[in-house]
Structure 1
Amino acid sequence: MRRWSATCRVRTFQQRQNVTTATTSSSTHRVSRQFHSSGNVSRTITTQTTHSPAPRHRCYSVLATQTKTQPSEQTVSSSPRDSTSNRPRADPYKLVAPELKTLRETLLNLLGSSHPSLTEIAQYYFLHPSKQIRPLLVLLFSQATNGLGRGWPAKKWAAECEGARGRSQELDSTLTRPDVLNDWNPNMPDHTASFSATFSLRNPRSSLEPPIPPLWVSDPSTPTLVPVSTLLPTQIRLAQIVEMIHVASLLHDDVIDNSPLRRGAPSAPAAFGNKLSVLAGDFLLGRASAALSRLGESEVVELIASVIANLVEGEILQLKAVHGEELGLDKEHTQGVGKENWNIYLQKSYMKTASLMAKGARAAVVLSGCKEGELWKEIAYAYGRNIGLAFQLVDDILDYEAAESTLGKPGGADLQLGLATGPALFAWEEHPEMGPLIERKFKEPGDVELARDLVRRSSGVERTRQVAQEYADKAKEVLGPLPDSDAKQALEVLAERVVKRKW
């Protein structure tokens, strides 16, 4: 017997009576995509190379083309923005402030453990101020695309219908029996089997068949951005997951880098020790993976799992640059500034920073019902990749410019770690004496101070900021095909703020 809520039954009945086949012929904004196979939506990914004395870099862009409307194709309604309006531009943080506050508070419930000390350290960084830019991107792209994808009706239905596993209450329900998972969280209604006796065979639990989506879920009506800012429970949970993965990476990074400060307070290794910090990071990844599996989207699982792999690969790139010989890794050669060193620097920046932003934003759009062949998730990835690189470039600038009290972590940390970031690489072009310092990883007495002086006497900081600006500008540009909304405007504002921030 299928279990249906009364709301689902009534809505399904009404919709079954009113199902109609809609064809669209309006000449609204359209995008086309080219494949070797057929398809009525096309996208082209291009790279843009800047021409300057600096090593060349790439901005990830989505090129949209306009085509005539065909009756059999889907269109996206969008009204033009009133350029004469004096209304204040949407603030990215204020737009989703209640959701950010709620997800931060409820996030702590996911981190409970039967070991109180593990719970304490897993929650440690979440109790300190954070930019929250990664969950912010997830929420903003959710608002900017909900309603546009062909699969939106099904996602909306699953978020409202009991048993479809899209409601917030159901995201905390395990897919496997808790006693099999052996995963006890004091903040969740889970129970585990006692270890005082042998484990007996149990008959499988009876399961109710999930409700069948009603006909209106596949209604081919015109995709339209939802008029009210709507966030699905799965998207809010995704925002929590990306923040958990980010914090797990911070715990591991602070151990590897022996960092004494994080967010203006003692780092986790300084407060709890290296071993507990590593274990807490692993615990966070485990909790995030379990939560990820309950979102019901294989593509989202694949995206976020690849982020975790990217974080490890980025750390290996960094270790090769600094401790290659000690670890038996191939040493990176620094015979000259060169395009190769710049590309390695940007590759590491993508893997350690931009990957989570880009793939988290894309995953949010997948959860909004965007299907293969629709442009929206390509926009999310291109924006996240570009803004993520801009964010990291500015971080590397602040390591030279900002005071320790402003950063919340030690200033000059990159040089202390033996890392040559954008400002140092540009300074090397103007001051060849920087080369030997980079080659020996700033290990000799006075190397760090000399390197900082060479950067100050060069245009390294300004040129790095210029590159960051180009990535931020490209991030704004790729938003073009999205219909106008407060969320889209907030994403534009965020791209502008990233390169102007001081912390």
Structure 2
Amino acid sequence: MPVKSYLEVLDMNLKTMVKARNPILYAAAEHLFSAGGKRLRPTLVFLVAQATMKSNKILNSHKRLAEITEIIHTASLVHDDVLDDCTTRRGVNSVHSTFNTKVAVLAGDFLFAQSSWYLANLENLEAVKIISKVIIDFAEGEIQQNLTQFDLTISTSDYIEKSFYKTASLIAASCKATAVISNTSKNMQNNFYSYGKHLGLAFQIIDDILDIVGSSKSLGKPAGSDLRNGNLTAPILFALEEQPELQLIIEREFYKEGDIVKAIELVRKSQGIQKAQDLAQEHLQAAINSLKFLPNSDTYTSLLKITEYILFQII
């Protein structure tokens, strides 16, 4: 059965899984699931499951893990949008702008709680430990991001650490937990964790480049929204090395009219985007290297193609 078929079933299941007694909570949760999204995390769960099981067999616990990862991811987006005051997500109005901030916070909490319930029912303690750590990482990433807004002293390594907590942690944990459910060797589990970690870091770097070069339509959220919130990402950090004017604009927190447009223009004129792209490619190569233990197969090819897909979003 191809991964696409599993994803179609997953989409149907997500809407039935998030049943809440309160219709507002259900409406808030369903609102985002109906908007779709890339479904990268469940796709990886299905591919890693096929790569680690005989005859590409996918277990029911793999399918449930795929659903759990998407619920956790969606919960984090709901809370992210509240913190960043983002009005759109996946091309539709964000939960807090459709309903209100209280509903959005409660909806995010509800989704995290729902995911924890399904996670416990996997009855695989090792997988539970791996995925549970992700929710701690999300909180750590959000705290780091909010404490370092407009902070010109942050380094590229600080940015990578925050990107791990906010994005790569869930992708890495999803890949590893899938291999755990498949009862593979520790070495194989760690290789898949490494693949997910580097893929996730590259994914975040590319997403941060798109915040500068993409359109609101392609992003599903306003362009430059991360920069406007003072989140200094890879292309901005690299651009700061050669654009002193950019530093002045960020220091005054885009106080003057036209500051955001000018800042984006300065980043685009610099080598910041190219250097960030090079950094993403380094992580994608590390992800590919983590899969060298796998034999050639359609699944192996698909895992490699995901690295290409991530990079080609900006080429």
- Normalising by structure 2, what TM-score? 0.96
Contact 1:359 1:384 in 2 (8 A): yes
Q: Paired residue for 2:163?
A: 349
**Is residue 286 of structure 2 the alignment partner of residue 474 of structure 1?**
yes
Distance 2:252 2:139 in 1: 24
Contact 1:362 1:378 in 2 (8 A): yes
Per-residue CA distance 1:360-415 (angstroms, 9 max, x = gap)? 110000000124xx311111100000000100110011111111111111011111
Contact 1:134 1:242 in 2 (8 A): yes
Greater mean deviation of Cα atoms: 376-385 or 482-491: 482-491
Contact 1:472 1:495 in 2 (8 A): yes
Contact 2:138 2:165 in 1 (8 A): yes
**Is residue 114 of structure 2 the alignment partner of residue 287 of structure 1?**
yes
Q: Paired residue for 1:298?
A: 125
Distance 2:45 2:238 in 1: 33
Change (3 A) 1:245 1:318: same
Structure 2 unaligned spans of 5+: none
Quote the offset at 1:417 in angstroms.
0.7
Q: Paired residue for 2:23?
A: 116
Contact 1:248 1:280 in 2 (8 A): yes
Contact 2:164 2:197 in 1 (8 A): yes
Distance 1:251 1:429 in 2: 34
Contact 1:418 1:442 in 2 (8 A): no
Contact 1:415 1:442 in 2 (8 A): no
Contact 1:261 1:267 in 2 (8 A): yes
Per-residue CA distance 1:101-131 (angstroms, 9 max, x = gap)? 1011112221111211211112111001210
Picking from 273, 276, 295, the partner of 1:483 is 295
TM alignment of 1:130-141, pairs within 5 A: 130-141=37-48
Distance 1:316 1:261 in 2: 22
Per-residue CA distance 1:71-118 (angstroms, 9 max, x = gap)? xxxxxxxxxxxxxxxxxxxxxxx9400001101111222111121121
Contact 1:134 1:360 in 2 (8 A): yes
Q: Paired residue for 2:205?
A: 393
Quote the offset at 1:284 in angstroms.
0.6
Residue correspondences, number: 315
Distance 1:129 1:106 in 2: 13
Distance 1:239 1:141 in 2: 11
Q: Paired residue for 2:139?
A: 312
Tell me the secondary structure at the aligned position of residue 430 of structure 1: coil
Contact 1:387 1:472 in 2 (8 A): yes
Distance 1:129 1:291 in 2: 21
Distance 1:440 1:378 in 2: 44
Tell me the secondary structure at the aligned position of residue 433 of structure 1: helix
Contact 2:195 2:291 in 1 (8 A): yes
CA RMSD of aligned residues (A): 1.6
Q: Paired residue for 1:107?
A: 14
Contact 1:399 1:413 in 2 (8 A): yes
Picking from 440, 448, 459, the partner of 2:260 is 448
Contact 1:424 1:451 in 2 (8 A): no
Q: Paired residue for 2:172?
A: 358
Contact 1:269 1:277 in 2 (8 A): yes
Distance 2:253 2:47 in 1: 40
Q: Paired residue for 2:236?
A: 424
Contact 2:175 2:196 in 1 (8 A): yes
Kindly name which structure, 1 or 2, has the bigger radius of gyration based on alpha carbons: 1
Letter in 1 for 2:162: K
Letter in 1 for 2:49: S
Q: Which has the higher contact order (CA 8 A, sep 6+)?
A: 1
Quote the offset at 1:436 in angstroms.
3.0
- Normalising by structure 1, what TM-score? 0.61
Distance 2:181 2:102 in 1: 36
Quote the offset at 1:502 in angstroms.
4.5
Q: Paired residue for 1:211?
A: none
Contact 2:242 2:270 in 1 (8 A): yes
Per-residue CA distance 1:6-56 (angstroms, 9 max, x = gap)? xxxxxxxxxxxxxxxxxxxxxxxxxxxxxxxxxxxxxxxxxxxxxxxxxxx
Distance 1:493 1:499 in 2: 10
Question: Taking every aligned residue pair, what percent have the same amino acid on both sides?
Answer: 39
Contact 1:118 1:280 in 2 (8 A): yes
Quote the offset at 1:435 in angstroms.
2.4
Quote the offset at 1:483 in angstroms.
2.3
Picking from 395, 403, 407, the partner of 2:215 is 403
Picking from 183, 192, 202, the partner of 1:369 is 183
Distance 2:2 2:291 in 1: 18
* Greater helix content: 2
Tell me the secondary structure at the aligned position of residue 375 of structure 1: helix
Q: Paired residue for 2:36?
A: 129
Greater mean deviation of Cα atoms: 293-302 or 381-390: 293-302
Per-residue CA distance 1:305-347 (angstroms, 9 max, x = gap)? 1100000000000100128xxxxxxxx5x35xxxx51111111
